[in-house]
Amino acid sequence: MIKSLICISLVVMTACAVQKREKADIADFLPATVSATVNLPLECKTIPTRHEQICVATTQAKFNPVNDVVFYHRDKQQQLTLLHAKHGDIALMWLHGFSTGGKYTIMGEAEEGHPSFIIYLTDAYLSNASTVKPVAVISDYFIASLESLDDNGMAEIRFLDSNGCDKPEALGCSGIIDIFKQD
């Protein structure tokens, strides 16, 4: 039943993109004998230096810390185009944001609370999100968050504890890494 509802949710979110709707009720797409209502608002982030956005619609699992996410591109004319959908079997997924000038798109995934950040060239992601390969991945047990990323690939990260800090006594310190030269 849960897998069926997840599949139905993905169908509804895809149908919304086609109909240019920002919210959906599953009941709009199901037979009258089935009673279910799900409100799935779009959350959008504007790509820096552009009048475009990447938007997401997310379902939350009832008993597990996972979600399904459908990604859309909203162009300059405010038209939505489906980019792709991801089923979250074991992780939470989200659109983390963009590099300072919009060259890179940053997706986040977290398993058991440990985040990883998957980085794509924005233009490549918008042209073929379902098959585009990431240019870098930031994934380390001791990284708490990605604070910022510039268009040259320099990322400010925050550590969970003193691992990676210049001053070992500093907890929760931040540091700068080159996303293309990680260990």
Q: Tens digit of pLDDT for each residue in 20-55?
A: 445 444 444 444 443 344 467 889 999 999 999 999
Domain membership of residue 162 (yes or no) is: yes
Tell me the residue range of the domain where 68 lies: 2-178
Q: Helix (H, G, I), strand (E, B), or coil: what is residue 129?
A: coil
Domain membership of residue 80 (yes or no) is: yes
Amino acid at site 85: A
Domain membership of residue 100 (yes or no) is: yes
Residues 6+ apart with CB under 8 A from 26: 8, 9, 12, 36, 37, 38
Q: How many domains does the chain have?
A: 1
Q: Helix (H, G, I), strand (E, B), or coil: what is residue 91?
A: coil
Domain membership of residue 183 (yes or no) is: no
DSSP 119: E
Q: Tens digit of pLDDT for each residue in 57-112?
A: 988 766 666 678 889 999 999 999 999 888 766 678 889 999 999 999 999 988 87
Domain membership of residue 135 (yes or no) is: yes
Contact status, residue 105 vs residue 122, Cβ threshold 8 Å: yes
